[in-house]
Structure 1
């Protein structure tokens, strides 16, 4: 085609296409613009590709070293209950025995402070209760290997970790508990009084220079760590900062001036790579009850079109385009623009936060996510394709996420890598540790018992 004709196509197609889009609103459309001079080229827009959707439960979600102590329980009638229990080690900030000779033990307490994002999920208007338990098993990471017939590992598993479905033994008897109002935006800290007999034991070991407190390694063998457990009647999940955890061994003594004074010995959270959150879910009584770690996929036809995404527990929306590759094999078409649009019925700024960003994971024929869709021009700041949440409006339009699919279309047409694969719309971003330690949830909007997910393609056809 000569350069004049190419310029003519661009000049005429763009403004006319904009007018068509503005007038069509949300209606399905298929438009052809003929070039009257040559009668062999046109621009078409389609948004009616057949899409098959399912809700999928991902497994083996790394949960160690994610930067937040997540603890609590929340429930929603649509997707069920979620629960977080946190495990961590503690050790001395200073091994030296610097307690005054005449000091007397006073108390033992655990101090927790909200994380920097002051994250919460659920109803924070009700009183919450947490209990503290003594860990009875050493925290250890696990290395995953390929499964039966060398099944691939998920892309988000990059090395040894503790995974969100793992548990470690802890004493059923609590060593401390607290009830509190989770006003996370204004909450300064939680101060939990712990078993004084345990505190006296710590104090005596330090005072006598016992070998068990001569190093943090020895202390770990003697005291494995702590577990924070939410009450079953809780209604919210709260995140605390792992780097601000303090266990204080408080004591009193008489100073050289004859006045009574107080002091404390501090234990901090040590080895943040072993702090992990056990994340659990219970979908009993919801439309998603059949979705489990073993029954990992539930088609949207079985849920009246409803599907959802959830960080932490690893719930994603699977999408497949049965006729797309055949369409792209037509040598007489050229894709000008392609967008995947996902509408969500979950409003922003509620007690159930929604994901701010989504990615597209590529799952192999076994349903294991093995790669991430990349943009046309990957950069260090954005090495893979992202979609940021777009707020709805006062006219009742839903919030949405939009992906530029040009790079995916190009690769789907030119390589065999994407054969027998599907896409997972995911709020779990492998490079972002925060997405493994929250419960951000987005329910996809439904229209005519189908998810409101559309693939919009603008293409030029040479006839």
Structure 2
């Protein structure tokens, strides 16, 4: 039996040597320096594409607006909602200033009597990392006032907010128009709003006396709504609160009688904010996916798996078949190998480069802990609010995910009835970790994956 396994191992290793580095496949895993682990890529791991019932993107680094047609994932419309906020106070090093209780200190907008309002500008900054569709075509947008103030808790991307039907401003541009003529750097787009909105804004800010919560309760925000004929979607950075100036903002200007210059105040867009997405997949291979039917087996999608940020679409990996390998299995190395379907790549819809793993629950949703927080896999552990970082190289068609530690832990627990989700991620402030990313529409399509598994017997 051992001889047959050894022969099979050598044959498989030779067969894969053209596309795999031997060290990656587990050569030298034995304690004596010899090839003594059993290798298989034939375990009947089940794969599918699933759809999350909710895709939270509130308070992200970007808000998106526009319309585009993705040839793989279908039509999508994005509407940006946001509410301006006071700027926090910083010291000369750029660090936040806080109250005694640790809460942020905010700037105070103080007015003298009888200010004369000059203008109000929305400064929309697009850094180019969140653009999708035909960005050479001219896109038109309209700004509407929300009918109610936004809540401070997170929003799902399928939630809609009511706004006044009559827009207060309209603007058009394409991506080349945002580039500086000589440096080619992307510049902000300034959109001017009616003076009465500016009057309301500065008065509410003055009365709040630096209390950001009070200002947010009084001043209703805005929706950026795309024209129905648009062909591109743009992401406008709200970003980390910092002093770089590379974020979107709102700037009212005013002066007093006798002044020769205007006074201004910068409101950031780090208050409540999110993007509403409306997807139409009816003419795509993903047409059967819905909230009531949220899983599509691999064989029902021409042996392909789909991943798209913002939409809740992600691959699911069912590991339960591994239990049939026996309880005496000791995992030496386990790698999920995903091959990118290059035929589905498009320069208009960027690749998703960062990914992470999480366990799926019985409803194909990312598992949550007892505090209702989304949890991930981190160093083989579960129930943590950040996940391991896996990064796609732009120079390869393969994407490998190491699940060795996780499988070792599950075998020790005697629990291999597990399903994992491969999720789009965005880096956190902790090096090498990610959380779910829904503030963009980057995507990937994978050919049928393989589990490259090396294991020993006790």
Q: Same fold (TM over 0.5)?
A: yes
CA contact (8 A) 1:70 1:438 kept: yes
CA contact (8 A) 1:130 1:179 kept: yes
Aligned residues: 393
2:445: which partner in 1?
443
1:347-386 alignment runs, 5 A limit: 350-370=347-367, 371-375=375-379, 384-386=387-389
1:181-330 alignment runs, 5 A limit: 181-183=174-176, 186-199=185-198, 220-242=216-238, 244-251=247-254, 255=258, 261-266=260-265, 268-269=267-268, 272-329=270-327
Q: What is the distance in 2 between the residues matched to 1:210 and 1:336?
A: 64
CA contact (8 A) 2:356 2:435 kept: no
Deviation at 1:454, TM superposition (A): 0.2
Q: What is the distance in 1 between the residues matched to 2:75 and 2:335?
A: 33
Q: What is the distance in 2 between the residues matched to 1:365 and 1:434?
A: 19
1:74: which partner in 2?
68
1:15-164 alignment runs, 5 A limit: 20=14, 23=17, 25=19, 43-91=37-85, 94-98=108-112, 104-115=116-127, 118-141=129-152, 160-164=153-157
Deviation at 1:140, TM superposition (A): 1.2
Deviation at 1:441, TM superposition (A): 0.3
Give the counterpart of 2:413 among 407, 412, 415: 415
1:448: which partner in 2?
none
CA contact (8 A) 1:374 1:407 kept: no
2:98: which partner in 1?
none
Say whether 1:339 aligns with 2:335.
yes
Deviation at 1:310, TM superposition (A): 1.0
Larger radius of gyration: 1
| Secondary structure of 1:170's aligned partner | coil
CA contact (8 A) 1:375 1:383 kept: no
Deviation at 1:384, TM superposition (A): 4.0
- CA spacing shift, 1:302–1:221, aligned 2, 3 Å: same
CA contact (8 A) 1:300 1:306 kept: yes
Q: What is the distance in 2 between the residues matched to 1:460 and 1:218?
A: 63
| Secondary structure of 2:283's aligned partner | coil
1:146: which partner in 2?
none
Unaligned runs of 5+ in 1: 1-11, 34-40, 142-159, 394-398, 446-451
**Bigger mean CA offset, 408-417 vs 56-65:** 408-417
- Could you state the TM-score of these two structures normalised by the residue count of structure 1? 0.73
C-alpha RMSD over aligned residues: 3.8
Q: Spell out, residue by residue over 1:444-463, the C-alpha distance to the aligned partner (whole angstroms, 9 max, x if none).
A: 12xxxxxx20001223457x
| Secondary structure of 1:20's aligned partner | helix
CA contact (8 A) 2:340 2:446 kept: yes
Unaligned runs of 5+ in 2: 1-5, 28-34, 87-106, 180-184, 242-246, 368-374, 429-433
1:404: which partner in 2?
402
